[in-house]
């Protein structure tokens, strides 16, 4: 059975992004797991943490607790990232999570030539986002995650679903959200 992981980077309980991501999750079949990043003991990485992680990696001590998020991410067959569009990217908790899962010999390795090679099992990552205003030049958070998928994790396909202008007075908010759900319906046909 496929393992599907939803990485929930939403910080508000009433998140429209989470609502759309949950709708997308209903389209996927398999064993589903959700990790709500705000409920996890994630902290920004400092020099002491990095040194300890390097020691553990060099000692092949991958059973250590600090690698649990990386192992969970690497083992998923499909991944859904729910990330509101904040400050042209995403909430900082997602960046902290990414720094924790970016673990050599779990989510990526290096070839003999020094080129990163992906070690994640997933073939697809879905990125769900909403914004209160317009997303002008593309969703930079999605572009960043796509590059990580391509260049580090070995996840060959990413797909963006988003709804924008949700805080603009006079906009049909339910209609905008329904349009995003219809896009998902059509995609999963």
Residue 138 to residues 111, 147, 164: CA-CA distances in angstroms?
Answer: 32, 14, 11
The whole-number pLDDT of residue 136 equals 85
Domain boundaries, the chain: 3-188
* Tokens read off for 127: 């990125």
Backbone angles phi, psi at 17, to 5 degrees: -60, -45
Helices 16-27 and 173-188 pack at an angle, to 10 degrees, of: 20
The whole-number pLDDT of residue 24 equals 98
The whole-number pLDDT of residue 137 equals 82
3-state secondary structure of 24: helix
Low pLDDT (below 70) residues in the chain: none
Domain 3-188: CATH superfamily is Flavodoxin domain (3.40.50.360)
pTM for the full predicted model: 0.96
Q: Tell me 137's DSSP state.
A: S
């Amino acid at each position: 059975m496929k393992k599907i992981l939803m990485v929930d980077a939403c910080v508000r309980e009433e998140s429209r992004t989470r609502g759309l991501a949950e709708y997308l999750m209903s389209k996927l079949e398999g064993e589903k797991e959700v990790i709500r990043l705000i409920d996890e003991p994630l902290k920004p990485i400092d020099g002491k943490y990095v040194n300890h992680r390097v020691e553990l990696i060099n000692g092949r001590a991958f059973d250590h607790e600090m690698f649990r998020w990386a192992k969970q991410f690497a083992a998923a067959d499909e991944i859904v990232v729910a990330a509101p569009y904040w400050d042209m990217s995403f909430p900082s908790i997602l960046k902290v999570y990414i720094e924790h899962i970016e673990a050599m010999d779990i989510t990526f390795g290096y070839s003999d030539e020094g080129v990163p090679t992906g070690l994640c099992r997933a073939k697809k990552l879905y990125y769900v986002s909403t914004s209160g205003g317009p997303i002008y030049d593309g969703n930079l958070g999605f572009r960043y995650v796509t590059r990580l998928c391509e260049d580090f994790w070995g996840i060959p396909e990413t797909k963006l679903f988003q709804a924008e202008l949700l805080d603009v007075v006079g906009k049909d908010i339910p209609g905008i959200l329904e349009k995003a759900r219809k896009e998902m319906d059509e995609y999963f046909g």
